[in-house]
Structure formats: C-alpha cells, structure tokens
C-alpha cells in the first residue's frame, strides 16, 4: 500500500514538474523572442542614427567650403563683372577641393553665368529658379534632383559680401552651386564610409525586411520636398536564433534530470539565470551579462546577445566620437588652410596695390617687393605641401632608388642649410659619423633630402637661441642607417607627442602661430620614411628642446664612392647674340621671361603652343636653346619634345613647369629633357641652366 500510495505521488510530482517546466519553457521562449526583437529593433535604430550622422559628416566639408567661398568680396564682384579668368583661376580650380562633379554660378537675377564640370556632366544649366528663391531666405540648402546624367546632390548658397551683417535679409549678389553625381564612385565612397551595402532606388516603395540584415532608408528629396529617390543601406545582422528551440529542449532534459536528482538545483539552473536576464534587460548590467555568458544552454546564448548589443552601442559611440573628432580636425584644418593661403595673398595684393597706386621711395619699393617675393614663396610652399599630401593619400608615390654617397649628401645639406641660419643666434653643427658608410648606398635621395630638410627647418624655426645639430650612424648588425636631428628649442609637450605626425593636427603655440604653415611637414616626412621602409620617433621636453630619430634600411651598392661637387656662384657668360625659343602660352609668364632676359644678348622667339614650337624648331636651324612649357594647348611639351628630338637631337630643350614634386622631376628626366626649371621662376636658376647649355664646348661634353 505504501508503494501504491507513494507511486501516485511520484507520478504527480513528475506531472506537476512537467507542467511547471512547460510553463518555464514557454517563458524562456518568450524571453528569447523578446530579446531577439529588442536587439533587432535596437540595431536598426542605431543603424539609422549612424547613417544620419555619417551622411552629415560626408556633407560637412562641402558646407564649410561653400560658406567660405560665398562670403567673399571678390566673388560678389565676379557676379557683376563676370570675369571668367578670375573664376577659372580661383573658384573653377576647386573641383577637387569640393570632391564635386559640377560647380555653377548665377547672378542676382538668377541668370546662369558659368560652370565648371567634370566629364561626367554635360548638362549646362539645370538649377531650378525656385531653389534660388529659397536661398534668398535660407542662405544655404542641400537638395537632390534628376538630370539627364542621373540623380545629383546639389548644395547651393547665396553670395554675399564678407561684411554683410544681415546675409539672409539683404538682397543676394548671386548664387553658387556644388553638384555631386550619385554614380557608382559616389556610392562606393559612401559604402566605405558607412561600412554598408547601398542600393539606389528610384521608386517610393517599402522595402521588406530580410533575415540577418538590418536596413536603413534615406530619402532624397528635391527643393520642393518631393521624392526623387531613396538610398537603401544594408548591413549584416550577426545575431542568430536558429538553435534556440534545440537548446531549450536540451535545457528541458537537463532540468528533468536535475529535478529528479536534486530539486535544490532548480534555483541555480533557472531562477538565477532568469534574474540575470532581468537585470541585463532592465539596466544593461555588464556584470550580469558576464555571469549570464558563463551559464549553460540558452542562457549563455542570451548573454552573447546582450553582449553583442552592448558592444554595438559602444562601437556606435566610438564611431560617433571618431567622426566628430575627424570632422572637427578637418574643419580646423580647412580654416587654418584658408588663413595660411589668404595671409600671403593679402600681403601680395596689398603691397602690389601700394606700389601701383601710392608714391613711395625706392627704399620702400624694395622693401615691399621683398615682402611680395617672400609671400609668394610661402604660398608656393603651402601649395607644394598640399599636392604632396594629396599624392600620399592617393598612394601615388613610389620610391625612386638611386646610388648615392651618404657622406657627401649630408655634407651638401649642411652647407645649404647653414646659409639660412647666419642671421640667427644658433650653433648649427654637423655631427661626423663614427661609423661611416663603407660603400655608396641605394635609396631615394630626393625623399631622404626632403625629410632631413623638413626636420632641420622645424628645428631652426622653433629654436630662437641655442644649437641645432644632425648626423647619422651606420648599424650594420641591424642593416639600418640611423639619423638624428637635435635642437635646444621650444620643445613639445608630452601630451602632444602622439599627434605630432598627424596631417590634420598642428601643435599650436605662440611660436608656431608666428612662423605659420599648415603643419604638414612632419606628416609628409613620416610618409616618406614609411615609403622607404623605415621608422621615425621623437624625444622632447618643453623648454629643453627636441630630438627626432629616424631610420631607413641599409643597402650597399658595392661601387665606388660618388663625390658631390661644391655649389659655385653663378657667373653669367658673355656670348654673341644667341637665339632662344620660349614655348609659353601664358602672356604674363612670357613677359616675365622677356624682362629677365632683356639685358642679355639673346634673340627671343615665342611659340604659344606645342605645335608652333615644333614648326619653329624645324624651320629655324639657328635656334640655340628651347624653354618648353609642359602644359600648353594643341600639343603639350612632352608631345612637342617627341617630334623635335629626332630632327634636332643636339638642341638643348629645358622644361619649364608648375609641377615641382620628385615624381614630376623623374618623369621630365625620363622624357629626354636636358633640364627643367619650376615656376615661380628663379632668375639665378634660370641663367645657371641657360649658361650650362649655351656654353657649347661644355655642353658637348655633357
């Protein structure tokens, strides 16, 4: 009887336990689905916010640049004069700055003036007049529209004087538009920025949800707030629930076994994990999530879900902070760039106007001209740094390895830089190597020189009084050449050491503001050293000075040493009248050549394009030398050289170019030019080349 009475109790216990566990099973299933839904919707919401933020970051540089250009007095004047030369030389050259496909300007009456397109856009005038009316009130606006070439993003701004206090109330002077074509390149760049797959939809339809995908729709609207198209962003959703049911069955079996063995384990296996789930859902407690992951079965999987959700939130916060920091640095860089360019331009324009329109003494005139020359060199330096940084960013630089004598190269740099510190209270020293190179080495001498000059220039700039020294040592064991540039100048705060080689960040101080510049020298130097396979580091303390260390691989050429000849003063040779052909399409540049040579015994001929240069050289055997511009209409300098050289192989042809990077120099040399001179022209360099190739006895030996 006892057995009979006990058995029904056991069956009842099993049955009641089963009912309890069935309820528990459905509770777990409900929590699993709830967690799945919550994580999915939370991820979509985060994805939408991320896309909105990143699209704002993508548009911010255009808004900063267009606001800067349209609040420019010279642009206001252009809308009245419609001076195309001014526009082409200033605004028309900014397609790359805006990363745009079309720039267009309109006057105050909403009449089209001029455009600057890429080859992608053929349509001339497509901006709606209503949009210009909207700009009269809004000042700046962005919208989308369809043109024959496709859907475009248009950013427009009204043009006002820089000192206009009521820019949205006073009549506008004109309108300026920046257009980007939403093509494959645009979408690929946007995919890289957002880390998502993007589809362009031209119909206003709802997109069904996809398994394991989160999506975000961004509607493109025209100036009347009407639908134009949609951008569909897709990203993989790496949270899966397929095994939830199976894992729950495992939990059921484990629960029954543990219930039979010991009911005490119920609390540990059910209540405690559920409590962790509750704490994770209510507060996002990371300790609870960590403990939940350590449990078994489905609870551990739910812990992974919570951790994934938490990690996504942290990644979003980091991405937001990084995007905001990048936006701030780029905005700061653009503002600094505008300042650094306008500063020398202000000096050039201002002192030129004083010379032209005021009565000044010869002493004052000479002083003003020196200021103009210095400002022009500063402006060229800024432009060169920007071009070089652009090439670095687009991976267009490659090392041009040559055989050099390292001792001679360092000595030549020392003699060159020493001249620049004669007027400063600085002890400039070259530290002789204790372990010099046994043979000539193989490296890119141009980039190596530029790195050393950049570091020395910085050291001299920031050292008012004290010493600047540099040198190198050979480490044959590690196959490295170790360079050192040391100064006793201002020094750099330790907190700024990690930013010192960043391209968009400059360590600001009273002296750095005084000496100016974009702060790209160290970024370019690091890029060159990385290109050569080396490394660079810094030691510095405020008030004690700085020491830069950099190393490049040691590779011997196993040939005789190369000796570097000293640089002698230029002597102008006196000859009978000789004929020089100047191939130059720009009238101002040709006038400058004429004025430089007017006191020399030269007969000057001119060709305004490459074809004329070829014809003149063929029909005039008396031409002694050609100064060939690289960029000319009809036929450029390289093409003209190819046609002249077979007919006049001994004729010296010197390239004159506005391109000044080391890669451009290599291209010119490989093309077969005898030499080259860069713009802006340097009179001493010009006559050094002319003398070299018009001295026919020496030229035949070259």
Portion of the chain with pLDDT greater than 70, in percent:
72
Q: Do residues 180 and 258 make contact, with C-beta atoms less than 8 angstroms apart?
A: no
Confidence bin at 575 (pLDDT 50/70/90): very low
Q: Report, as an integer, the average pLDDT of 368-385.
A: 69
Q: 118-127, 542-551, 556-565: which has the minimum mean pLDDT?
A: 556-565
Report the distance separating Cα 663 and Cα 420, nearest Å: 27
Residue 374 belongs to some domain of the structure: no
Q: DSSP assignment, residue 546?
A: E
Helix 521-531 to helix 362-393 angle, to the nearest 10 degrees?
A: 40
438 vs 518, residue with greater confidence: 438
Residue 518 belongs to some domain of the structure: yes
Quick check: helix, strand or coil at residue 104? strand
How many other CB atoms sit within 10 Å of the CB of residue 370?
11
Question: Which pLDDT tens digit goes with each residue over 248-267?
Answer: 666 666 556 655 555 555 55
Q: Is pLDDT at 112 greater than 90 in this prediction?
A: yes
Q: Is pLDDT at 513 greater than 50 in this prediction?
A: no
Report the distance separating Cα 661 and Cα 63, nearest Å: 31
Query: Could you tell me if 539 and 658 lie in one domain?
Result: no
Q: Report, as an integer, the average pLDDT of 535-557.
A: 88
Confidence bin at 243 (pLDDT 50/70/90): low
Q: Report, as an integer, the average pLDDT of 376-401.
A: 67
Question: Which pLDDT tens digit goes with each residue over 476-495?
Answer: 888 899 999 999 888 887 77
| pLDDT the model gives residue 561 | 45
Range among 111-115, 237-241, 396-400 with highest mean pLDDT value: 111-115
CATH number of the domain within which 141 lies: 3.30.450
Q: Which of 174, 203, 236 finishes a domain?
A: 236
Helix 406-418 to helix 445-461 angle, to the nearest 10 degrees?
A: 40
pTM: 0.38
Quick check: helix, strand or coil at residue 403? strand
Query: Could you tell me if 616 and 674 lie in one domain?
Result: yes
Residue 507 belongs to some domain of the structure: yes
How many other CB atoms sit within 10 Å of the CB of residue 567?
10
Report the candidate in 626, 678, 676 with the shortest Cα–Cα distance to residue 647: 626
Q: Which of 187, 202, 236 finishes a domain?
A: 236
Question: Which pLDDT tens digit goes with each residue over 47-80?
Answer: 788 888 888 888 888 888 888 888 888 888 988 8
Question: Which pLDDT tens digit goes with each residue over 659-672?
Answer: 656 667 778 888 88
Q: Is pLDDT at 564 greater than 50 in this prediction?
A: no
Query: Could you tell me if 541 and 592 lie in one domain?
Result: no
Distance (Å) of CA 636 to CA 119, 511, 641, 649: 20, 44, 9, 19
| pLDDT the model gives residue 378 | 63
Portion of the chain with pLDDT greater than 90, in percent:
13
Q: Report, as an integer, the average pLDDT of 114-134.
A: 89
Residue 385 belongs to some domain of the structure: no
Q: Given the structure tokens 């079309």, which residue do they identify?
A: 102
Residue 566 belongs to some domain of the structure: no
Query: Could you tell me if 407 and 520 lie in one domain?
Result: yes
Burial of 96 (0-12, 13-18, 19+ CB in 10 A): exposed
Query: Could you tell me if 540 and 588 lie in one domain?
Result: no
Helix 2-70 to helix 298-357 angle, to the nearest 10 degrees?
A: 10
Question: Which pLDDT tens digit goes with each residue over 614-633?
Answer: 999 988 888 999 999 988 88
Burial of 689 (0-12, 13-18, 19+ CB in 10 A): buried
Q: Report CA torsion sign: 71, 72, 75, 80.
A: positive
Q: DSSP assignment, residue 151?
A: E
Q: Report, as an integer, the average pLDDT of 370-390.
A: 67
Report the distance separating Cα 480 and Cα 535, nearest Å: 10
Confidence bin at 291 (pLDDT 50/70/90): confident
467 vs 695, residue with greater confidence: 467
Given strand 112-117, what is the order of strands in its sheet? 112-117, 102-107, 174-181, 150-159, 140-147
Q: Is pLDDT at 498 greater than 80 in this prediction?
A: no
Q: DSSP assignment, residue 534?
A: -
Q: 344-353, 602-611, 637-646: which has the minimum mean pLDDT?
A: 344-353
Report the distance separating Cα 397 and Cα 391, nearest Å: 6
Residue 165 belongs to some domain of the structure: yes
For 325, residues 6+ apart whose C-beta sits below 8 A from its C-beta are none
Q: Is pLDDT at 167 greater than 70 in this prediction?
A: no
Q: What angle do CA 378, 72, 389 make, to 5 degrees?
A: 40
β 425-431/465-475 pair status: parallel
Q: Report, as an integer, the average pLDDT of 97-102.
A: 88
Confidence bin at 341 (pLDDT 50/70/90): low
Query: Could you tell me if 492 and 589 lie in one domain?
Result: no
| pLDDT the model gives residue 181 | 92
CATH number of the domain within which 445 lies: 3.30.565.10
Number of domains the chain contains? 3
Query: Could you tell me if 453 and 530 lie in one domain?
Result: yes
Q: Is pLDDT at 455 greater than 70 in this prediction?
A: yes
Q: Mean pLDDT across the chain, nearest whole number?
A: 77
Query: Could you tell me if 582 and 624 lie in one domain?
Result: yes
| pLDDT the model gives residue 1 | 35
Q: Which residues of 503-538 are buried (b: 16+ CB within 10 A; e: fewer)?
A: bbbbbebeebeeebbbbbbbbbbbbbbebbebebeb
Query: Could you tell me if 423 and 500 lie in one domain?
Result: yes
Q: Which residues of 118-135 are buried (b: 16+ CB within 10 A; e: fewer)?
A: eeebeeeebbbeebbebb
Question: Which pLDDT tens digit goes with each residue over 392-430?
Answer: 666 666 777 888 888 888 888 888 788 777 777 888 888
445 vs 322, residue with greater confidence: 445
| pLDDT the model gives residue 559 | 52
Q: Which of 195, 215, 236 finishes a domain?
A: 236
Report the distance separating Cα 659 and Cα 630, nearest Å: 9
| pLDDT the model gives residue 422 | 72
Residue 209 belongs to some domain of the structure: yes
**165 phi, psi to nearest 5 deg:** -75, -20
Tokens of residue 298, six digits:
């489905």
β 150-159/174-181 pair status: antiparallel
Query: Could you tell me if 474 and 613 lie in one domain?
Result: no
Catalogue the E-assigned strands of 506-600: 535-541, 545-553, 578-583
Q: Is pLDDT at 144 greater than 80 in this prediction?
A: yes
Q: Do residues 391 and 447 make contact, with C-beta atoms less than 8 angstroms apart?
A: no
> From the centroid of its chain, how far is CA 230?
29
Confidence bin at 683 (pLDDT 50/70/90): confident
| pLDDT the model gives residue 366 | 82
Query: Could you tell me if 408 and 534 lie in one domain?
Result: yes
Q: Quick one: three-class SS letters along 599-613?
A: CCCEEEEEECCHHHH
Residue 357 belongs to some domain of the structure: no
For 624, residues 6+ apart whose C-beta sits below 8 A from its C-beta are 578, 579, 580, 651, 652, 694
Q: Given the structure tokens 């543990």, which residue do they identify?
A: 258
| pLDDT the model gives residue 117 | 92
| pLDDT the model gives residue 267 | 55
244 vs 37, residue with greater confidence: 37
563 vs 135, residue with greater confidence: 135
| pLDDT the model gives residue 390 | 65
Q: Is pLDDT at 280 greater than 90 in this prediction?
A: no
Query: Could you tell me if 609 and 466 lie in one domain?
Result: no
CATH number of the domain within which 678 lies: 3.40.50.2300
Helix 445-461 to helix 662-671 angle, to the nearest 10 degrees?
A: 150
> From the centroid of its chain, how far is CA 557?
36
What is the residue range of 654's domain?
578-701
Report the distance separating Cα 474 and Cα 40, nearest Å: 60
């Amino acid at each position: 009887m006892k057995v009979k009475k006990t058995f029904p109790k056991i069956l009842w216990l099993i049955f009641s336990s089963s009912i309890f566990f069935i309820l528990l099973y459905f509770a777990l299933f409900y929590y699993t689905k709830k967690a799945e839904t919550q994580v999915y919707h939370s991820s979509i919401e985060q994805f939408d916010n991320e896309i909105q933020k990143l699209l704002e970051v993508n548009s911010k540089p255009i808004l900063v640049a267009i606001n800067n250009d349209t609040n420019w007095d010279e642009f206001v004047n252009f809308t009245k004069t419609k001076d195309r030369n001014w526009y082409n030389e200033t605004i028309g050259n900014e397609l790359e700055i805006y990363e745009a496909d079309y720039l267009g300007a309109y006057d105050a009456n909403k009449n089209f003036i001029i455009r600057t397109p890429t080859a992608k856009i053929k349509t001339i005038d497509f901006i709606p007049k209503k949009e210009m009316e909207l700009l009269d009130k809004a000042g700046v606006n962005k919208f989308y529209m369809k043109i024959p070439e496709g859907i475009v993003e248009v950013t427009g701004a009204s043009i006002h004087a820089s000192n206009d206090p009521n820019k949205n109330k006073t009549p506008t002077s004109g309108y300026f538009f920046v257009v980007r074509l939403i093509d494959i390149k645009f979408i690929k760049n946007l995919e890289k920025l957002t880390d998502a797959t993007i589809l362009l939809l031209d119909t206003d339809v709802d997109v069904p949800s996809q398994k394991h995908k989160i999506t975000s729709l961004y509607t493109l609207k025209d100036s009347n707030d009407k639908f134009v198209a949609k951008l569909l962003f897709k990203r993989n959703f790496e949270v899966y629930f397929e095994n939830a049911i199976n894992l729950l069955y495992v939990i059921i079996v484990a629960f029954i076994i543990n219930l039979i063995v010991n009911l005490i384990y119920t609390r540990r296996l059910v209540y405690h994990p559920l409590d962790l789930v509750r704490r994770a859902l209510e507060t996002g407690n990371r300790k609870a999530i960590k403990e939940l992951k350590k449990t078994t079965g489905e609870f551990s999987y739910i812990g992974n879900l919570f951790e994934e959700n938490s990690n996504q939130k942290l990644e979003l916060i980091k991405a937001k902070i990084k995007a905001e920091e990048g936006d701030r640095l780029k905005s700061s860089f653009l503002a600094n760039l505008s300042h650094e360019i306008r500063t020398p331009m202000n000096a050039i324009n201002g002192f030129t106007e004083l010379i032209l329109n005021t009565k000044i003494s010869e002493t004052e005139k000479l002083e003003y001209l020196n200021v103009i020359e210095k400002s022009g060199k500063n402006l060229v330096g800024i432009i060169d740094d920007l071009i070089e940084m652009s090439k670095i960013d687009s991976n267009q630089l490659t090392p041009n390895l040559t055989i050099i004598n390292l001792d001679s190269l360092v000595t030549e740099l020392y003699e060159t830089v020493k001249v620049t510190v004669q007027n400063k209270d600085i002890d400039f020293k070259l530290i002789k190597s204790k372990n010099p190179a046994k043979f000539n080495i193989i490296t890119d001498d141009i980039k190596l020189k530029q790195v050393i000059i950049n570091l020395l220039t910085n050291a001299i700039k920031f050292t008012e009084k004290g010493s600047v020294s540099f040198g190198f040592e050979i480490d044959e064991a590690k196959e490295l050449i170790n360079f050192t540039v040391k100064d006793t100048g201002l020094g750099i705060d330790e907190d700024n050491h990690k930013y010192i080689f960043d391209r968009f960040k400059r360590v600001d101080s009273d002296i750095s503001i005084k000496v100016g510049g974009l702060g790209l020298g160290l970024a370019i130097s690091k890029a060159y050293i990385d290109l050569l396979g080396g490394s660079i580091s810094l030691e510095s303390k405020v008030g004690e000075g700085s020491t830069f260390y950099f190393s490049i691989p040691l590779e011997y050429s196993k040939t005789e040493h190369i000796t570097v000849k000293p640089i002698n003063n230029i002597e102008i040779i006196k000859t009978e009248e000789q004929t020089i052909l100047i191939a130059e399409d720009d009238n101002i540049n040709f006038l400058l050549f004429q004025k430089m040579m007017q006191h020399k015994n030269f007969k000057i001929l001119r060709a305004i394009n490459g074809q004329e240069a070829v014809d003149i050289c063929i029909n005039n055997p008396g031409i002694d030398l050609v100064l060939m511009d690289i960029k000319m209409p009809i036929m450029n300098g390289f093409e003209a050289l190819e046609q002249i050289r077979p007919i006049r192989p001994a004729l010296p042809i010197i390239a004159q170019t506005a391109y000044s990077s080391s890669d451009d120099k290599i291209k010119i040399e490989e093309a077969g030019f005898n030499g080259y001179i860069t713009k802006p022209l340097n009179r001493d360099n010009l006559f050094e080349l002319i003398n070299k190739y018009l001295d026919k006895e020496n030229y035949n030996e070259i």
